[in-house]
Amino acid sequence: MRFDYLAFVLKKILKLFIIVLILPILTAVYYKEYPSIMPFAYTGLIAILINFLLNKTGSNIQNLNDIRKTNCFGIVVTSWIASTIILSVPFLFFGISPIDALFEGTSGITTTGATILTHYNYPHSMLFWRALTQWMGGIGILVIFIAILPQFAVAGRQMFFAETPGPGEEMLTPRIRSTASAMYKIYFILTLILTCLLKFTGMSWFESLCTSMSTLSCGGFVVDGNLFTRSTSLTLWIITLFMIISGTNFNQLWKCYTKRNIKALITNEEFKVYIYVFLVLTAAVAVYGYFYMHHPVSEIVRDGAFSVISIMTSNGFAIDSYTSWGLGAQVFLFLAMFTGASASSTSGGIKIIRWVIVFKFLKTEITRIFHPNAVINVKSNNQIVPKDVIGQVLIFMFFYFLIFIFSAIIITLIEHNAETGTLSALNAIGNIGFTPDEMSTFNPVTKLILIFDMLIGRLEIIPFLVLLQPEFWEFRK
């Protein structure tokens, strides 16, 4: 691991965080909550101090053009951990314990949306900060930095794919900086549109902006625990639509925008499976919910669609308690936790394309049993999926379930509750945040395990495997 490369990236990240911290300070000034300025001012001073110390390392490199891929993975993991710690600092000044502050910050930046808060009687600046951390984490911290920092140059390509690993890797434009900028533009425009629509349906500007940032990032933090129970049907349907969009491949969205043709999207295999799974699970939940809860059809379909897409996209928004749907509907909602949405979206979880590749791979292997001499390739969107990509998918799936099962067992033993252990671990590694219990009551060790799982899930496991390599820990200039 090259320490000078790591210092170079961390300095750039810290400088941008210092700028970002101005936003909650301005929020505090606008709402005349002057005491809440200090948490963000102190955090900015800490970032400045760390940046000063990093400058003392003597690193004078100007770019990362000769960086290797293994170093990129290490830098991505380290940068996310460092970012999580820095973004968690403001919570300490609002009476939140260090572990809880780290949990809240991790949940925000990883867009998990699980919270240790038991109430929302906090200053606007703090609630805005929670939403902002999710918004930054949704598009990916390094994607934002690559979009605006020319110093990343050629290295941006490797860091971009290290930060967004998976079978959905593809370029929107020939230049990686332009690709990151394109994703950022889509993200920003959609956030702006949703904010205006929610304001039109009756939310305040503050609620609209924070809810939009949480929705587009597939985050799940809210500024009021009763926000959705008092929302109109139009509001819930609009949020449902934008959750579907946030779980859609941004590459395909960009193609639709630039070519002014939706065909590129609706003919995409992953998108078709994504919508099909969403509709099937929504119908199943709605039918069971109708007979179990005896609500009007329009209401149960609305709530069913909202809940299913919220879990599939790892948004974690909830209208009713998970347990209020009845056992049958809970089973279908539980299945939704394993599906995920599209690759190259802001959602977490396994992702639909990985399931498509796994099932096609299994089909080809079964076919080879009966036709051993046949040449059969796994294809997606009429293109052959390379064997190394299939291998990466299988490795991902193996470690995803291994970490989930191991975490679930440990948490079950700590919390003495199998349901809590299973759902908490699954929601953490899938970045879903849809849990039945108050996280604030969890054992500190449980919270640390969930923090670890949230980070692994957000980076999609592969970069974290780099930490298992002895050479990663050999720091050198």
Kindly report, residue by residue over 333-365, the tens digit of the pLDDT: 899 999 989 888 888 888 998 999 999 999 998
DSSP per-residue string spanning 148-198: H-GGGTTHHHHHHHHHS-STT---SSSSHHHHHHHHHHHHHHHHHHHHHHH
Q: What is the mean pLDDT of residues 244-270?
A: 83
Name the phi and psi angles at 206, rounded to 5.
-65, -50
> Are the C-beta atoms of residues 110 and 431 closer than 8 Å to each other?
yes
C-alpha 221/C-alpha 43 separation (Å) is 21
Report whether pLDDT(173) > 50: no
C-alpha 233/C-alpha 236 separation (Å) is 5
> Are the C-beta atoms of residues 471 and 440 closer than 8 Å to each other?
no
Report whether pLDDT(151) > 70: no
More confident residue, 240 or 252: 240
Residue 48 has a pLDDT of 92
- At 209, list the tokens: 């902006």
Query: In this prediction, what percent of the chain has a pLDDT beyond 70?
Result: 84
More confident residue, 464 or 177: 464
Q: What is the mean pLDDT of residues 195-223?
A: 93
Q: Which of 43, 227, 250, 17 is nearest to 138 (CA)?
A: 250
- At 240, list the tokens: 């449902």
Residue 132 has a pLDDT of 94
Report whether pLDDT(393) > 70: yes
Give the pLDDT confidence of 14-41 residue by residue, as tens digits. 888 888 999 999 999 999 999 999 999 9
Q: What is the mean pLDDT of the chain?
A: 84
Q: Which of 252, 78, 216 is nearest to 139 (CA)?
A: 216
Q: What dihedral angle (degrees, nearest 10) is formed by the CA atoms of 181, 185, 187, 188?
A: 130
Neighbouring CB atoms inside 10 A of 319's CB total 17
Residue 391 has a pLDDT of 87
DSSP per-residue string spanning 382-425: TEEPPHHHHHHHHHHHHHHHHHHHHHHHHHHHHHT-HHHHHHHH
The amino acid at residue 58 is G
Report whether pLDDT(8) > 80: no
Question: Which pLDDT band, with edges at 50, 70 and 90, does 370 fall under?
Answer: confident
Name the phi and psi angles at 18, rounded to 5.
-60, -40
Residues 6+ apart with CB under 8 A from 104: 88, 91, 96, 115, 116, 117, 130
Q: What is the mean pLDDT of residues 279-286?
A: 93
Report whether pLDDT(300) > 60: yes
More confident residue, 201 or 73: 201
- Report the range of poorest mean pLDDT among 253-257, 306-310, 314-318: 253-257
Report whether pLDDT(148) > 60: no
> Are the C-beta atoms of residues 218 and 246 closer than 8 Å to each other?
yes
**Which range has highest mean pLDDT (70-84, 315-329, 342-356)?**
342-356
Residue 261 has a pLDDT of 77
Tally of residues, the chain: 477
Residue 26 has a pLDDT of 96
